[in-house]
Structure 1
Amino acid sequence: MSEQKNHQRPESDYLGTVHIPADALYGVNTVRGVDNLTVSKRPIGSEREFVRAFAFCKWAAALANRDVGVVDGAQCDAIVQACRELADGQHDAFMIVDFMEGSGGTSSNMNVNEVIANRAQQLLGSRPGIYDRVHPNDQINRSQSTNDVYPAAMKIAAHALLAPLVGEVESLAASLQGKAEEFKDVLHLGRTCLQDAQPMRLGQLFEGYAALAGRLSAKLKAVRSELEALPLGGTAIGTGFGAPKGYKVRVYGYLAEITGVDYRPADNAFDAMQNLDTFTRVSAELRTCATSLAKVASDLILLSSGPNGGIAELELPAVQPGSSIMPGKINPVVPMSMVQIGFAVVGNDVCIAQANQAGQLEINHFEPIVADRLYDSIHLLRNGIRLFREKCINGIRANVQVNERHLMDSTAIATALIPKLGYAKVSAMVREAAAQNRLLLEVLQERGVLSREDAVQLTRDSTMLDV
C-alpha cells in the first residue's frame, strides 16, 4: 500500500470516471457524496459510535447472509474482519461523507459499504476498486437498504451515547445530594417571584436539585430503551423485499451477539420506516434535561452574585479571571456555559421536531440532520454536565452568615412566628416595621416580644420537615 500512496485509481459510474487515491478505502459513491454534499465539514468518521453502529449492522448482515446462502464463507470472513476493524476505529479516516449530506443517508451508507468492500478485497488478496471478490452493493449491502440500515445505525449509536450521559446525570445527582447534606443546617431565605418568601434550609434547596437530577436520569434511561426497536430487515419501505427468507431473524440474533444488546425488530416495519418519533422523544428528554439543569445553573448564578453588590449566599469556585479590563472580577463561567448548552439543545430539538414532521410517505429522508443534531445534544450535555459537576457543584461553599442575615433581616420570619404569637399580632408588627422602614426583628426585640436567639430558633424549627 505504501508504494501506491502517491498514485490514484480510476473508478467509474454512470456519471463518469473519478480518480481516487490508491491507498483510499472509499470509492466513487463516496467521492460523489463528498463533492456534492459537504456543508458542515463534519464527516461521519468524526462520530465514533455512529461508525461503530454501522459496522455492527454490516457485520450482523454478513453472517446472516452467509447463513441464508447469498454470501459465501470466504466473503463473509473478509467482511466480518473488515467490520471488526471499522468498529475498532481503524478506518475512520476514510469515513469522509458529511454528516449533513442531503441524500437521505445513501451517501453515508455507500461510504460504509465501499470502505468495508475495499478492505475485504485486500484481505482476500485483491485490489480496492475492482470489486471482483466483494462488491459494495452485491455483498456488503445485500439484504439491506439505506432506508433500514441508516436509521438502525442511528438508533444503535444513540443508545450507546446515552449510557455515559445517564451516568453523568447520576453523578451530578450524587454531588448535589452531597451538598444538600453539607448545607443541611444552614438557614436560608426562600424566595418566590424574586421576593422574600419563607424560611428554609440551604440543604433543602440542594435536595430539590438532587431530586431533579435523579428524575432526569431515570427519564433518559427509560427513553433509551425505546431505541432498541430497529427497522433493520425492512429494506427499502418495510416489506423486506430483497432480504431472503430467514435473514431477518438471523440478523437480529447476530446483532445481539455482537453488541450485547437485545435489539429487536419494530412491531410494525412500515411504521419503523416512516416515522422518527422515537428520536423526537429522545430529543425531548435531552431538551428537558438541558433546560432543567440550566435553571439550576441560573439559580447558582443569582445566589452567588456580588460578592458585595449582590446576594452572595453561595461562593462558586473561581476557575478563571472574569474580565480582561476589571482586575479581580470573577464570573460564574461554568454555570453560564450550562445555560448556553440549554439554548443549543433547545435549538437542536426544534430542528429534530421539524425533520420528523417533514418525512414523506414511506421514509423520512431527513434522518442525517436528526442524527447530527441528536448526537450534538448528547455530547454537549455529557461534557457540560461533567464540567458543571467537577468545576462548580463539587466546590460550592455556603456563606453561612450572609444566608442567616438575609433571612433574619426579612419579613420571611413572620410566618415562623405565627404559631407562638398569633397571626394578628405578627401582622400588626410586620405593618409597623414596614411603616417605620425597620427590620421586623428589631421591632420584636424592642417590644420585648422575642429575642433574636428565640426568633432564630423558631425559624429553625419551622424549616424542619414533618416526615
Structure 2
Amino acid sequence: MNNLATSETRIERDYVGEVNIPSERLYGVNSVRGADNLTVSPLSIAHYPEFITAFAQCKWAAALANRDNNVITQEQCDAISRACQEMIDGQFNDSLIVDLLEGSGGTSTNMNFNEVIANRAQQHLDHAPGSYDVIHPNDHVNCSQSTNDVYPAALKIATYAMLGPLISEVERLADRFRVKAIEFADVLHLGRTCLQDAQPMRLGQLFGGYASLGRRLADELVAVRDKLRTLPLGGTAIGTGFGAPAGYRPAVYKHLSGIAGVEFLAPTNSFDAMQNMDVFSRVSGELRTCAASLAKIASDLTVLSSGPVGGLGELRLPEAQAGSSIMPGKVNPVLPMAMIQLSFAVAGNDVAVAQAVQYGELEINHFEPVVASRVFDSIMLLTNGIRRFEEKCVSGITANVERNERHLMDSMAVATALVPSIGYARVSTLARKSVAEGRPLAAILDESGLLSRSDTLLAIDKASYPVFGVQE
C-alpha cells in the first residue's frame, strides 16, 4: 500500500502500522492485512453471493439480538441492519477483498464483513468511514460473536442455500430420465454385464434405472442439507458463550430464522458444535456420491453412443460441437465427458474436506476456509454441470431402434429367455454353438425347429417385461 495519504484516501492504523484505503471503499485495516498476507487464489469472498448473504444475515440477527439485550442502541441497530440489507442486495462487493481460501481461520473474512458493515453504518449516521466513533467493527458489529461461531454458522447457512438449486437440478435430471424411460419403453435392448452380452431387456428399463438413481441422489442431498440447520452461533470463542448476554442466544436464532426464512437451530451441545465439522464430511460425501453416480451414467451414454460405425451406436447423442481439429466430421460425446471430468474434481474436493475436518484442533477447527472453498466449488460444479448435461445432452438422446434389436437378436443373450421352454443344458449347448460359429442363436433355433423366430421374440418379450424401471 502507498504510505502517502492523499485527498482520495483515508488512513487506518493497527499495531503493525498505517495503511491508506481508497475513500470509496468500505473495508478497513484488518481487511487489507488479510488480503495482503493471505491471497492465494483468484476468488475472494465477493465471488460467492450466498456466503455474503449468510454473513450479513448473521450480523443483522446479532444486531437485533444485541438491541433486545440492551447491548447496543436502537440507532446503532438500525444502522447496522440497514447496512446488512444493502450488502444482501449486492452492494459493497468491491469492498469484500479477502480471499475465500485465506489462512487465518476465518478471522480476516469475519473482519472484512465487520469493517464494511461498520463503515456503511457510520455513513448512515453521518459519520466518516474509518473513524468508528459511533459504530465499531469489533465493539458493535461483532458484538456477542466470535469468528469461531459466526464463520461456521455463515458457512452452514450459505451451503444450505447453495444446495437448493443443486437439488432442483438433480430432480430435473431424474425427471428427464423418466421421460426417456417412457419414450424407450418398447425398444428391445441387449443387457450387458462385464461388457459381455447378458440378457434381453428394454432400453426404457435402463433409463428407468437412471431416473430412480437420480431421485435417490436428490433425496439424500435433501436429508444431508437438513443437518446444516443446526448452527454454532452463540458459542462465541469456544462454546461457553462468554462475551454474550444471557438472552442473546434465543434472540439471535429467532431473528436469524425470521430474516433467512429458514428455521435455524441452536446445538444440543455448544462445545461439540464449535469443535467438530463432521456435517461437512457428510455434505461433501453426498456431493462426491452424486458426482460419481452421474459419471457412471455419463460413461454408459458414452459407450452406448460409441461409433457411429465402429462402436455400439445404440444411442444417438445430440451433436454439440466439432470433436477434432484434425479429423473432419468427428463428433465427440463432450457433455458426458464433461460430467465424468467434473466427478474427478468433486472427488478431489472431498479429500480436501475430509483432511480439513480431521485436522481441527481442540476447541475449534481453523481450517474452515478450505472447507468453504472446496464445498462451494463442488456445489457450483455439479449445479452447472448437471444443468448443461440435462439440457444439452440427455433431453436430446434418441435410440437407434434397429441397431438395438439387431444386437440383441444376433447375440446369445436371448438364451436366458429360452431356458423355461427348452431347458438350461440344451440352451447352453446351442449358445456355445452360436458363439463358435459366429451365427445368431435365434437363427440356429429356427433351423433346428426348436423355436421359430417369432416364438423367440415372444419369449424375449415375456422375459423383458414388466418394465420395472419405468413403473417406479
User: How far apart, in 1, do the equivalents of 2:90 and 2:6 lie?
Assistant: 21
CA displacement at 1:432 relative to structure 2 = 2.7
Counterpart AA for 1:131: Y
User: How far apart, in 1, do the equivalents of 2:143 and 2:154 lie?
Assistant: 16
Q: Aligned residue for 2:237?
A: 236
Q: Is the 8 A contact 2:442 2:453 kept in 1?
A: yes
Matches within 5 A, 1:55-454: 55-454=56-455
Distance 1:466 1:96, change over 3 A: closer
User: How far apart, in 2, do the equivalents of 1:119 and 1:433 lie?
Assistant: 81
User: How far apart, in 2, do the equivalents of 1:437 and 1:172 lie?
Assistant: 40
Q: Is the 8 A contact 2:205 2:467 kept in 1?
A: no
CA displacement at 1:140 relative to structure 2 = 0.3
User: How far apart, in 2, do the equivalents of 1:431 and 1:108 lie?
Assistant: 69
User: How far apart, in 2, do the equivalents of 1:146 and 1:382 lie?
Assistant: 29
Q: Is the 8 A contact 1:5 1:21 kept in 2?
A: no
Q: Is the 8 A contact 1:158 1:375 kept in 2?
A: yes
CA displacement at 1:264 relative to structure 2 = 0.8
CA displacement at 1:466 relative to structure 2 = 8.7
152-161 or 438-447, which deviates more? 438-447
User: How far apart, in 2, do the equivalents of 1:233 and 1:111 lie?
Assistant: 20
User: How far apart, in 2, do the equivalents of 1:77 and 1:148 lie?
Assistant: 23
Distance 1:157 1:466, change over 3 A: closer
Which 4+ runs in 1 deviate beyond 4 A? none
Q: Is the 8 A contact 1:106 1:146 kept in 2?
A: yes
Q: Is the 8 A contact 2:253 2:266 kept in 1?
A: yes
Cα deviation 1:378-416 (Å, max 9, x = unaligned) = 000000000110011110000000000000111000111
Counterpart AA for 1:36: N
CA displacement at 1:465 relative to structure 2 = 2.8
SS at match of 2:13: strand
CA displacement at 1:232 relative to structure 2 = 0.2
Q: Is the 8 A contact 2:40 2:99 kept in 1?
A: yes
User: How far apart, in 2, do the equivalents of 1:296 and 1:373 lie?
Assistant: 24
Cα deviation 1:209-249 (Å, max 9, x = unaligned) = 00000000000000000000000000000000000110111
Q: Is the 8 A contact 2:25 2:94 kept in 1?
A: no
Q: Is the 8 A contact 2:176 2:390 kept in 1?
A: yes
CA displacement at 1:447 relative to structure 2 = 1.7
Q: Is the 8 A contact 2:38 2:102 kept in 1?
A: yes
Q: How many residues are aligned here?
A: 464
Q: Is the 8 A contact 1:252 1:264 kept in 2?
A: yes
CA displacement at 1:375 relative to structure 2 = 0.5
Q: Is the 8 A contact 1:113 1:141 kept in 2?
A: yes
CA displacement at 1:205 relative to structure 2 = 0.3
CA displacement at 1:443 relative to structure 2 = 1.3
User: How far apart, in 2, do the equivalents of 1:433 and 1:257 lie?
Assistant: 71
User: How far apart, in 1, do the equivalents of 2:436 and 2:220 lie?
Assistant: 50
CA displacement at 1:430 relative to structure 2 = 1.9
Identity over the aligned pairs, expressed in percent?
63
Q: Aligned residue for 1:461?
A: 462
- Structure 1 spans left out of the alignment, 5+ residues: none
User: How far apart, in 2, do the equivalents of 1:198 and 1:370 lie?
Assistant: 45
Cα deviation 1:17-37 (Å, max 9, x = unaligned) = 000001110000000000000
Q: Is the 8 A contact 2:204 2:467 kept in 1?
A: no
CA displacement at 1:429 relative to structure 2 = 1.7
Cα deviation 1:185-219 (Å, max 9, x = unaligned) = 00000000000000000000001000000000000
CA displacement at 1:461 relative to structure 2 = 1.4
Matches within 5 A, 1:16-55: 16-55=17-56
Counterpart AA for 1:278: V
SS at match of 2:12: strand
User: How far apart, in 2, do the equivalents of 1:44 and 1:120 lie?
Assistant: 20
CA displacement at 1:5 relative to structure 2 = 10
User: How far apart, in 1, do the equivalents of 2:349 and 2:58 lie?
Assistant: 26
Counterpart AA for 1:422: G
Q: Is the 8 A contact 2:26 2:116 kept in 1?
A: yes
CA displacement at 1:428 relative to structure 2 = 2.4
User: How far apart, in 1, do the equivalents of 2:12 and 2:438 lie?
Assistant: 86
User: How far apart, in 2, do the equivalents of 1:427 and 1:372 lie?
Assistant: 57
CA displacement at 1:6 relative to structure 2 = 6.8
SS at match of 2:412: coil
User: How far apart, in 2, do the equivalents of 1:67 and 1:432 lie?
Assistant: 86
Q: Is the 8 A contact 1:169 1:214 kept in 2?
A: yes
CA displacement at 1:43 relative to structure 2 = 0.5
CA displacement at 1:441 relative to structure 2 = 1.8
User: How far apart, in 2, do the equivalents of 1:466 and 1:376 lie?
Assistant: 38
Cα deviation 1:322-373 (Å, max 9, x = unaligned) = 1111111110000100001100000000000000011000000000000010
- Structure 2 spans left out of the alignment, 5+ residues: none
User: How far apart, in 2, do the equivalents of 1:418 and 1:250 lie?
Assistant: 71
CA displacement at 1:422 relative to structure 2 = 2.1
Cα deviation 1:75-117 (Å, max 9, x = unaligned) = 1110000000011111111111001100000000000000000
Q: Is the 8 A contact 1:10 1:17 kept in 2?
A: yes
SS at match of 1:230: coil
SS at match of 2:198: strand
SS at match of 1:359: coil
CA displacement at 1:445 relative to structure 2 = 1.9
Q: Is the 8 A contact 1:100 1:368 kept in 2?
A: yes
SS at match of 2:191: strand
Q: Is the 8 A contact 2:10 2:130 kept in 1?
A: yes
Cα deviation 1:292-321 (Å, max 9, x = unaligned) = 000000000000000000000000000111
Counterpart AA for 1:113: N
